[in-house]
Structure 1
Amino acid sequence: MPPSPRRLIGPRPRTLLRDRTAVHLDDGREIEIERVRDSRARRLRLTVGERGARLTLPPRASLISGQRFLHEHRDWLAQQLAAQDTGGVVALVRGDSAFLPLRGELLPLCWSEGRFAQLQSSGDGVEFRLPARAGTPAIQRTLRDFYEAQARADIGRWLPRYLPGLPRAPARIRLRPMSSQWGSLAANGVLSLDLSLVLGAPAAFEYVLVHELCHLVHADHSPAFWREVEARCPDWRLQRDYFHAEGRRLKARLHALLSG
């Protein structure tokens, strides 16, 4: 009698259960936390991103142990939230917001009524024209289009300088908000850049572009790769330090402006 076939058992599908909880900081603030029970998690983990704080619990961890973990790490949480400070930048309010962040500066912002939603440079600042009935979604769409156009203008100035030393040009350049990375290069040659780069120092933005372009030469982060970066951007360490100091704030600002 032939042996019965063995049943192959694959990995169990990942399950995520989400809810909300809160923790009180020593300064009196109550901070809302996204609580996620992850079937693949092995330990309690607290993280802070541009979307806020999240507590991850493994399947067998109790809610009480999760609250205790939050309480024990409340000082760390306060420090991380301070690092996420948007510098006073929140979602734009029509007729009220007076400044717009761009290229490491806060530009004077004026408002006017127009037939179409449009944001454009005006003297030393920017002017936001909106139809009378335009609401928050129109403001956010127009602002995102403006930032992407400004970022592409910067890339258009920088890119010709670097193309002659590359084996090929990027297949396409995408600009979008990215949760953790500043840029990436896909196997198909599509180069993605974080839209929040246009809010920061132009030299730092240019460094990220150079970094990703050098992956067309070396796909890894080997010494040979960093030699390529060094040849094109000698002050890359300075720009990397800039992101360590300001990176979270840039991402939080963009999130506040486009999703606040």
Structure 2
Amino acid sequence: MPSLFRLSPPADPTTSRLQRDSIAFVLSDGRRIDVLRVRDPRARRLRLSVGERGPRLTLPPRVSLAAGERFLLEHRDWLTHQLAPREDDVQPLVPGEPGAVPLRGDRLALRWEGGRAARALLEDDAVVLQLPPRAGAAAAARALRDFYEAQARADIGRWLPAYLPGLPRPPRRIRLRVLSSQWGSLAPDGTLTLDLALVLGRPSAFHYVLVHELCHLVHADHSRAFWREVERRCPDWRDERDYFREEGRRLKAALHVLVG
């Protein structure tokens, strides 16, 4: 049987740095994909995962490439299911072509108009992207990213005041970033960072992440006392956690497709 992979020489197990390459792989339904293979000196076991940038195979230092190949083949059906296309998958922006973009758990129609500067506006139940004549997809992506950040900050601005009186101090500042795995974090200096993809999903899930990170101003760990603080402010937090388990990867992937 011919190999389904482009194999490279084994990595030196003594190295302390991640090593990455690309693996060509055929799914159960015949689709051909690339899998990111990472040899991680900190990994203790083989691991296959799917993120917003696609599938990733992680190998510990002394696991052979052949063992990684067998592991991937054993999980081919699972990977095929994870990567199965859905009708509501977000498509890349193509200036001038109508489409739809996610916002707050809904899909809004996308319209294009000419304009003096690249910007996105919310009009009724649609997002309008205005572009100068020579602007292309990169300008549209930047405008949509700015639009998403403005919408996210508007949501935060509505929710945050209700929680400030019960906190030992307010966040030093709030940043919105495209995060690869986390949904939010709180730095020791009080800077709160939130994933921009949150504004694509349902508002209650975004609200939960904000509450979760604010509660770290009270307890810096994930102790029982911390979760009591979360429960008091967001009683349905378990439902939101389940939502992220079911839809989180697609939210992050959608943001990556739309704004990079």
TM-score, normalised via structure 1 length: 0.89
Percent identity between the aligned chains?
66
CA distance in 1 between partners of 2:57 and 2:234 (Å): 38
Alignment check: 8 A CA contact 1:85 1:249 kept: no
CA distance in 2, matches of 1:13, 1:70: 24
Describe the SS at the equivalent of 2:83.
Answer: helix
SS at match of 1:256: helix
CA deviations 1:6-45 (Å, max 9, x no partner) are xxxxxx6613332211222221112211122334444433
The reply on whether 1:145 has 2:171 as its aligned counterpart is no
Equivalent residue for 1:74? 76
DSSP 3-state at the match of 1:71: helix
What is the aligned partner in structure 2 of residue 95 from structure 1? 96
In the TM superposition, residue 233 of structure 1 has moved relative to its aligned partner by: 1.2
Matched, 1:186 2:187: yes
- Aligned match of 1:9: none
TM-superposed CA distance for 1:85, in Å, is 5.7
Greater alpha carbon shift after TM alignment, 140-149 vs 51-60? 51-60
1:171 paired to 2:178: no
- The answer as to 2:227 corresponding to 1:226 is yes
Q: How far off its partner does 1:209 sit? A: 0.4
Write the distance in 2 (CA, Å) between the matches of 1:60 and 1:226. Answer: 39
Matched, 1:112 2:113: yes
Match of 1:196 in 2: 197
Query: Which of 161-170 and 51-60 deviates more?
Result: 51-60
Report SS of the residue matched to 2:168.
coil
Structure 1 segments unaligned to the other structure (5+ residues): 1-11
Give the corresponding residue for 2:25. Answer: 23
After superposition, the Cα gap between the structure-2 partners of 1:189 and 1:33, relative to the gap in structure 1 and judged at 3 Å, is same
- 1:185 deviates by 0.7
Aligned partner of residue 142 in structure 1, secondary structure: helix
- Residue 237 of structure 2 is matched in structure 1 by 236
Residues 37 and 239 from structure 1, CA distance in 2 versus in 1: closer, same or farther, beyond 3 angstroms?
closer
- RMSD, aligned α-carbons: 1.8
Q: Aligned in 2, Cα 1:186/1:85: closer, same or farther, shift over 3 Å?
A: farther
State the 1:214 CA deviation: 0.8
Structure-2 change in CA distance of 1:228 and 1:38 (3 Å): closer
1:127-173 alpha-carbon deviations (Å, 9 max, x no partner): 11100110121111111111000000000001001101111100000
Amino acid at match of 1:47: S
Q: Which amino acid aligns with 1:219?
A: A
SS at match of 1:132: coil
Matches of 1:254 and 1:110, distance apart in 2: 18
State the AA in 2 paired with 1:163.
Answer: L
Distance 1:160 1:86 in 2: 38
Q: Comparing 211-220 with 235-244, which one deviates more in the overlay?
A: 235-244
Match of 2:5 in 1: none
Per-residue deviation, 1:91: 1.5
| Unpaired stretches in structure 2, ≥5 consecutive residues | 1-13
Q: Quick check: which has more Rg, 1 or 2?
A: 1
Distance 1:16 1:234, change over 3 A: closer
- Equivalent pair of 2:98/2:109 in contact (CA under 8 Å): no
Distance 1:208 1:194 in 2: 9
Kindly state the Cα deviation for residue 65 of structure 1 after the two structures are TM-superposed: 2.6
Q: Is the 2:29–2:80 Cα contact (8 Å) retained in structure 1?
A: no
Q: Report the AA paired with residue 216 of structure 1.
A: L
Structure 1 residues 59 and 13: alpha-carbon distance in aligned structure 2, compared to 1, 3 A threshold? closer
Alignment of 1:35-54 (within 5 A): 35-54=37-56
TM-score (norm 2): 0.89
